[in-house]
Chain A
Amino acid sequence: MDNLSELQLDALSEIFNIGAGRAAASLSEIVSEEVKLSVPSVEFRKCSELNAKVLSLDQNQLGVVKQQFSGQFNADACLIFTEDSALEIMRDMMGSHISVEELAEFEQEAMCELGNIILNACLSAMSDMLDIQLESSLPSYSVCSSDEIIDSIVDVENQLYIMILHIDLEIERRQVNGRLIFLFSSSSLGVLRAQIDAFVTRI
C-alpha cells in the first residue's frame, strides 16, 4: 500500500512530462526563447521519511512556491529551487526588461508566476489525463531553509505521503533543477491510485 507500482509511476511520469511540456511552451512565450522542462523521475515516500538527503537540494536557502489543490483529492504542492538558481532563472527571464538591481523587489511576484505556470501545468495534465476535478489556491512564495521545509511537511497532520518530482529546467542555456513535492493524505493517495489504474486500463 505504501508505494505505487512501477507501472503506476511510469504513467504518472508520462503525465507530468506532458505537463512539463505545456509549462515549457508557456515559459518560452514569456522569454521568447526555447525553454526546456522535463520531469526525469517521480518517487513516493512517507512524510516521515523526508529528510535533506531525500530532497537532495544541498543548498540551505530555498525558494518555495506553494499552492493548495483541492477537489477529488487534496494536495499541497511545493515547487522548490535553491534560492540562487531561482534568482538566476528570474534574471534570465526578465532579460532586458529589468536591471539586476531591480530584481530583488520583483523576485517574489515573478517567482509566483513561474511556479504557478509549472504547478498548474503539472496539475492540469494530471487532472486531464486522470479525469480528476481540481481547484487551486493562489501561489505564495517564500524563502526558507531545507530544514524548515522538511519540518513543515513532517508536521502536517493527515498528510502522510509525499510525491517528489525532479524538475530539470533549461532557460537560455542555463540549467537548473528543482523539486516538486506533493503532500497527500492516504485517502487522497487512494483516489490518485484508483484514477491511475483507470487511466492505465484505458490506454
Chain B
Amino acid sequence: MMKNIDTAPQFEWEALFDTVNIGLILINKEGCVLLWNEWIAKYSGVEAKDAINLALVDVFSEPLSKPIIAAIKRAITTKLPVVLSNALHKFPLPLFNLNGSGERISQSIILSPIKQKQGEVICLIQVTDSSTSIKREKMLRDHSELHKKDATMDALTGLYNRRFFDRQYATHLSQAQRQNTTLSLVMLDIDYFKNYNDHYGHPAGDSAIVAVSECIRSKLQRSSDLAARYGGEEFIVMLPNSTVAVAQAFAESVRQAICDLNIAHNNSLIARHLTISVGVSSCLPGMVVDSATFLKNTDLALYAAKQKGRNQVQYLPL
C-alpha cells in the first residue's frame, strides 16, 4: 500500500491505468462510473467518454448480469472485498473477443472497496481474462488424460494392462461376492510362442500378439467384460455376471477364431498354424475365495489345457 502518496514521485496515473493488462472500473457507492480503463474500453466496445459519470448498469447495451449486480451491492454495503469466480459465473460483464466473432471472454472479477479520505467508499472492479488460464488448464488436463491412458493401456495391443486389470479384478471380485453373482476368468496364451518368435522374428511375434488381442476384443459380449494383456503372450479376460457355460463358450469362440485366422506357425509342435490354450475358472455365488487363489486356479486351468495337448479350453472348478 502506498500511504505516502504526496511524497511519491509524480506521474500520470491515467497512463498507468490504460497500460495494465487487466480491466479496471471504478464506481462510487451510487454505482456511477469514475474510471474506465483502456482494457475495459477495448473489450466492451464502450469508450471511456461514453461511460464516465454514467451508472454502470446503463453503460452496456444489454442489462448487467445478476451476479455482478449482487456482488457490487455486497462490496459496497459490507465494505469488504468480493470475488466472482469464473467457475460460478462465466461472463459477469458483457466483454467480447476482439476477433469480431461476438464470442464472450470468460472472466474472473475482484471487487475491492476503497475508503476515501472523506469516508466515502468507492469500489474498484478488476477484471481478468481467464480464458488463457482455462486453455492452459485444459491442456494440462489433456496431458494428464493421456498419461492416465498410458498408465492403464497396453501400448502394443490397446487392451488394458496388467496393473489396470489387477485393480479392476479386486473390485469386481468383492462386488460379485457381495452381490452373490458369478465372476468368471479366462486366461489364455499362444502355443509355442517362443518357437514362433525364433522362427519368424519379433516383429512378426508382435503382429501375432496383436492378432490374438483383436480376436479377443471381437468376441467380448458386454461392456462390463474386460480384457487385458497379462504378460508377453498371455492374456486375461474378466467376465462379470457370466456363468461357467457362458465363460466356456466365450473361451471356445476365441480359440476357434484364432484357428480360423490360419496364421502360419511352422514351428508349432501341434499344428501348422497359430493356436492358443485357454483356462477357465469361475467364482460362483456363495463361494468365499480370495483374489490370489481364484487367479491361481485360472492359471492352473490354463496349465491343464497345455498339459492335455494345447489348442483347447479347460475348465477347473474352484
Contact = CB atoms under 8 A, between A and B. Distances in A.
Contact of B87 (A26, A110, A121): A110
A69 B72 CA distance: 20
Interface string B80-99: 11111111111000000000
A68 to B, nearest CB: 11
A124 interface: yes
Given A112-B83, A121-B78, A124-B80, 14 more contacts: A29-B66, A97-B90, A98-B87, A102-B141, A105-B134, A105-B138, A109-B85, A109-B87, A109-B108, A113-B84, A120-B80, A137-B81, A139-B81, A139-B83
A87 B78 CA distance: 27
Contacts of A123: 78, 80
A85 B71 CA distance: 25
A11 interface: no
A94 interface: yes
Contacts of A113: 83-85, 87-88
B87 A97 contact: yes
Nearest to B66: A29
Interface string B131-171: 00010011011000000000000000000000000000000
Given A26-B70, A26-B74, A29-B66, A106 B85 contact: yes
Question: Contact size class for B?
Answer: 20 to 34
A195 interface: no
A181 interface: no
Interface in A77-101: 90, 93-94, 97-98, 101
A113 B89 CA distance: 10
B180 interface: no
Interface string A124-156: 100100000011111100000000000000000
From B70, B77, B82, name the one whose CB has the most chain A CB atoms within 10 angstroms.
Answer: B82
Contact of A116 (B70, B83, B115, B138): B83
A198 interface: no
A30 interface: yes
B87 A90 contact: yes
A32 B141 CA distance: 29
Interface in B85-132: 85-90, 108, 110, 112, 115
A139 B80 CA distance: 11
Contact of B141 (A105, A121, A124): A105
A120 B81 CA distance: 8
Contacts, number: 74
A36 B138 CA distance: 34
Contacts of A139: 81, 83
A105 B88 contact: no
12 contacts: A30-B67, A93-B88, A94-B88, A97-B90, A102-B141, A105-B137, A106-B86, A109-B85, A123-B80, A124-B77, A137-B81, A138-B81
A116 B81 contact: yes
Contacts of B79: 124, 134-135
Nearest to A94: B87
Contacts of B70: 26, 29
Interface in A5-56: 26, 29-30
Contacts of B134: 105
Contacts of B66: 29
A186 B315 CA distance: 77
A136 B66 CA distance: 24
A116 B82 contact: yes
A177 to B, nearest CB: 21
Nearest to B114: A135
Contacts of A107: 87
Nearest to A115: B83
Contact of B110 (A93, A94, A138): A138
A29 B141 CA distance: 30
B12 to A, nearest CB: 27
Contacts of B110: 138
Nearest to A104: B141
Nearest to A137: B81
A93 B88 CA distance: 7
A37 to B, nearest CB: 15
B61 to A, nearest CB: 24
Given A26-B70, A29-B66, A29-B70, A134 B80 contact: yes
